[in-house]
Amino acid sequence: MIKVTDRTVQIDHKKQQKIAGISSVLGSTIEWYDFFLYGTMAAIIFPQLFFSQQDPYVATLLTFSTYAIGYLARPLGAILFGHFGDKIGRKISLIATLLIMGTVTVLIGLLPGYEKIGLLSPILLTLLRFIQGFAIGGEWPGSVLVSMEWGTNKNRGFMATLPQIGVPLGLILGTAVTSLFISISGDNFQTWGWRVPFILSIVLVLVGLLIRFNLLETPSFQKVLDEKKLPKLPVVSIFKYYPKQVLSAVFSNVSSDIAFGVFAFYTTTYGITYLGLNKSIFVNATLVGAIIAVFTIFLTGYISDKISPKKILGFGNILLILWALPYFYLLNTKNTGLIFLAVIIALVIHATMWAPLAPVIASSFPAHLRYSGSAISFMLRSMIGGGFAPLISTYLLNKFHSGYAISVYIILAAVISLFALRYVDIKYQKED
């Protein structure tokens, strides 16, 4: 007979809280490593490899179109994984997303180029990118919920921001591995060097799966099971009873995704094609900025438990408005030091917005519909924002021949987010 005491329960809860935090950070890092790896290669190698019959401008547009496809697939993944996450649990959905993402990433690394299989190459690339985005649609909300729902009223905001650290960590890992194989493969980077980072993803996936198998269902979801509150059709219920929460969550956070699409991905293309600079400058600047962003997310996540995460998000949008024009001014100097400064500050500002985004969205919905509500809201904002940011930036630069046109695009997005933030209600942050 096993004697269960309050202290035993408390120790078990703390242990699961640690596992949940590690699982969410590692899983999110792996998912975003895969996703960002595609974004980096889309900027420096894919136009020539998969769209070699097009002129450079058209090839870039087509490449970033496949990038956008991944974002268009996210809401579909959000609906499916959100449904099962609210019906049968968070854990199973998270294991599925990790398996799908890892498999697809390895297949991209093995995909032949245009010269070998012709039109089939970009078609398969687009399909794999779609599946990749589909998996992301379920990964982020699941990671956030598992971490947040194992938290307590004292640290729930911080716990919800832990998966957000996976974004800069994934960017760091993806950028570092890319930079390493650019150096190792040299002139062979276009033939085999770019493939290795994709294939190495399988190692990370196996580690992530081992940790997630040791994770239990969250107390919040267990409470839903005990009270028999399982919804029949979570997605229908979300749009029927919580349309305001969805809209406010989407538009209050859309600027962060647009900013990241420009700062982390399009900047490299801008530097190479418009400024004529070496790609390593931007790859390394992004790497340094991402490292600092990790600490920024930790700090803002901690503060979110002390003050409203809405205030932090609003402050981040104001900083974004102020930095949008100086950002391209510094890039245009072509000075390596100033380019590093521009990218680092930009990624720190994004991190300031990115950390509170998780508790703002997740706390807008009750536990029995939280997976679906969070997934749909997050993925719609991603589709509207970051998915089209590199594509729109490419068009604006070609149309106006100035990076400042992109600055205006960022500023308008931040103004919209500030307005929508007024309607955000995070009353469920401390409900459990």
Tens-binned pLDDT, residue by residue, of the chain (432 aa): 334 344 444 546 778 888 888 888 888 888 778 877 887 787 678 877 887 666 677 777 777 677 678 777 888 888 888 888 888 888 888 888 888 988 998 999 999 988 888 888 888 988 898 898 888 888 878 888 888 888 877 787 788 888 888 878 887 888 788 888 888 988 888 889 999 999 988 888 888 888 888 788 878 887 887 777 777 888 889 989 999 999 999 999 899 989 988 998 788 889 988 898 887 888 889 889 988 988 998 898 888 888 888 899 999 999 999 999 999 999 999 999 999 999 999 999 999 998 888 888 888 888 888 888 888 888 888 778 877 888 899 899 999 999 999 999 999 999 999 999 999 887 665 555
> Angle formed by the axes of helices 56-87 and 6-44, to 10°?
160
- Asked whether residue 431 is domain-assigned, the answer is no
CATH number of the domain at 24, please: 1.20.1250.20
pLDDT confidence of residue 53: 65
Q: Domain of 276? A: 6-421
- Asked whether residue 69 is domain-assigned, the answer is yes
Contact in structure between 194 and 181 (CB atoms under 8 Å): yes
- Asked whether residue 426 is domain-assigned, the answer is no
pTM given for the model: 0.77
- Asked whether residue 430 is domain-assigned, the answer is no
- Asked whether residue 427 is domain-assigned, the answer is no
- First and final CA of the chain: distance in angstroms? 30
Name the DSSP letter for residue 73: H
- Asked whether residue 432 is domain-assigned, the answer is no
How many domains does the chain fold into?
1
**Count of Cβ atoms closer than 10 Å to residue 127 Cβ:** 14
What is the rounded distance in angstroms from the CA atom of residue 378 to the CA atom of residue 83?
Answer: 15
Q: What is the dihedral of CA 188, 192, 196, 198, to 10 degrees?
A: 120
Q: Residue 424: CB partners within 8 Å, gap ≥ 6?
A: 248, 249, 252, 310, 360, 364
- Asked whether residue 1 is domain-assigned, the answer is no
What is the rounded distance in angstroms from the CA atom of residue 271 to the CA atom of residue 317?
Answer: 25
- Asked whether residue 331 is domain-assigned, the answer is yes
Token pair 């009873």: residue: 241
DSSP string across 212-252: HTTPPPPHHHHHHHHTT---SSHHHHHHHH-HHHHHHHHHH
